[in-house]
């Protein structure tokens, strides 16, 4: 098998640690602070992933990407639970997951078009822009007190 065959396994392996680390960070800090940290480190990791020139660096970046990617979920789930009234929580989760699946369905096509027109490294770098927009949203959310 080629190295590409193992790349997803490497990301998922990193993700195992990311979920555990994020869960502990949520307990120590807050869900929103943990979410900000994992999204903040995700963008640079994607950029460094495109710059990897050898297998060791590539494997390291894939593991770190898995950690940052999977680290988002415990923090996101906790934040959603903390921010929504119990009687509307199911609907809120439904909307968030629906939006996530829509983005998950559309983003690979857009990234593929960009990769065809430019190259894959450029497409991956461009794909980090929404992460930085999310950071702005998260800092705005930090200023809002949620009462339910």
- Which pLDDT tens digits describe the chain residue by residue (148 residues)? 677 788 889 999 999 999 999 999 999 999 999 999 999 999 999 999 999 999 999 999 999 999 999 999 999 999 999 988 989 989 988 998 899 899 989 999 999 999 999 999 999 999 999 988 999 988 888 888 655 5
Q: How far is CA 2 from CA 5, 33, 124, in A?
A: 5, 38, 21
DSSP per position, 14-69: HHHHHHHHHHHHHHHS-HHHHHHHHHHHHHHHHHHHHH--SHHHHHHHHHHHHHHH
**pLDDT of 141:** 87
**pLDDT of 125:** 94
User: For residues 9 and 65, what is the distance between their CA atoms, to the nearest angstrom?
Assistant: 12
What is the widest separation between alpha-carbon atoms in the chain? Answer: 53
**pLDDT of 115:** 95
**pLDDT of 4:** 75
User: For residues 50 and 3, what is the distance between their CA atoms, to the nearest angstrom?
Assistant: 16
Q: Comparing C-alpha atoms, which of 64, 65, 92, 72 is closest to residue 148?
A: 92
List all residues 6 or more positions away from 5 whose beta carbon is below 8 Å from its beta carbon.
none
User: For residues 45 and 116, what is the distance between their CA atoms, to the nearest angstrom?
Assistant: 22
């Amino acid at each position: 098998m080629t190295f590409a065959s193992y790349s997803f396994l490497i990301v998922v392996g990193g993700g195992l640690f990311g979920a555990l680390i994020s869960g502990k960070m949520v307990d120590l800090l807050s869900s929103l602070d943990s979410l900000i940290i994992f999204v903040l480190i995700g963008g640079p990791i994607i950029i460094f992933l495109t710059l990897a020139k050898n297998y060791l660096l590539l494997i390291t970046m894939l593991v770190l990407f898995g950690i940052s990617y999977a680290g988002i979920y415990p923090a996101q789930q906790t934040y959603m639970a903390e921010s929504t009234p119990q009687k509307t929580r199911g609907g809120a989760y439904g909307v968030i997951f629906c939006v996530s699946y829509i983005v998950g369905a559309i983003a690979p096509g857009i990234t593929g078009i960009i990769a065809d027109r430019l190259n894959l490294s450029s497409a991956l770098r461009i794909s980090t822009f929404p992460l930085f927009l999310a950071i702005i949203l998260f800092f705005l959310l930090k200023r809002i007190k949620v009462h339910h």
